[in-house]
Amino acid sequence: MKLIVGLGNPGKKYENTRHNVGFIVIDKFYQNNGFSEWKGSKRFKAKFCKAKGVTEQIILAKPETFMNKSGQAVRSLAAFYKIKPHDIWVLHDEIDLPTGKLRISQNASAGGHNGIKSIIEELGTSEFVRFRIGVAGQMRVKISAEKYVLQKFSKEEKAQIDEFLKFAVQAINTALISGITEAQNEYN
């Protein structure tokens, strides 16, 4: 069983912000596959849905906590469904990559990302897989990283992300069918 988690902040205020690109990608993956309807769960602190993948059961999740507490939702879902850390895949924004670029890694540090830091703290390991989605755009000038990621995409960036979505969904599908190493070789 795989748990694929898209990171973001809940609420209309944060829709289409750089920090919510994990939600954007997981929603596109959801649309392209035969998942059940999203269900909200106070117990899991997340919206989630399930489907039978080609090789195994897949659970998609979008934490309903704010980014800095994403680990609570990941830990509760992983514990309930008995999912090992290496079977948890996290899709999240990465300000150190150009918009529309993807890097797949495993067992990596938080790299300053508070959502990833929360997941590492809650799971007690960094063994999970990360799909790091570039949001650097026209690199920010005189603005903190925290403010930058909470801004909406520019028109140019939105067009790049729209093109990127098909690529990201293909990368996830390749990882599910052929494994993480194959996906890294093809999409990194």
- List all residues 6 or more positions away from 45 whose beta carbon is below 8 Å from its beta carbon: 63, 64, 65, 69, 72, 73, 76
CB atoms within 10 A of CB 166: 11
Residue position matching structure tokens 């959502």: 115
CA distance 118 to 103: 20
Q: Is 86 a catalytic residue?
A: no
Cα torsion at 38, 8, 108, 136 (round to 10°)?
130
Tokens linked to 21: 């690109």
CA-nearest of 81, 109, 77 to 96 is 109
Strands 129-134 and 102-106, bridge-based pairing: antiparallel
Give the largest CA-CA distance in the chain.
47
Tokens linked to 45: 């602190």
Q: Give me the active site residues, please.
A: 19
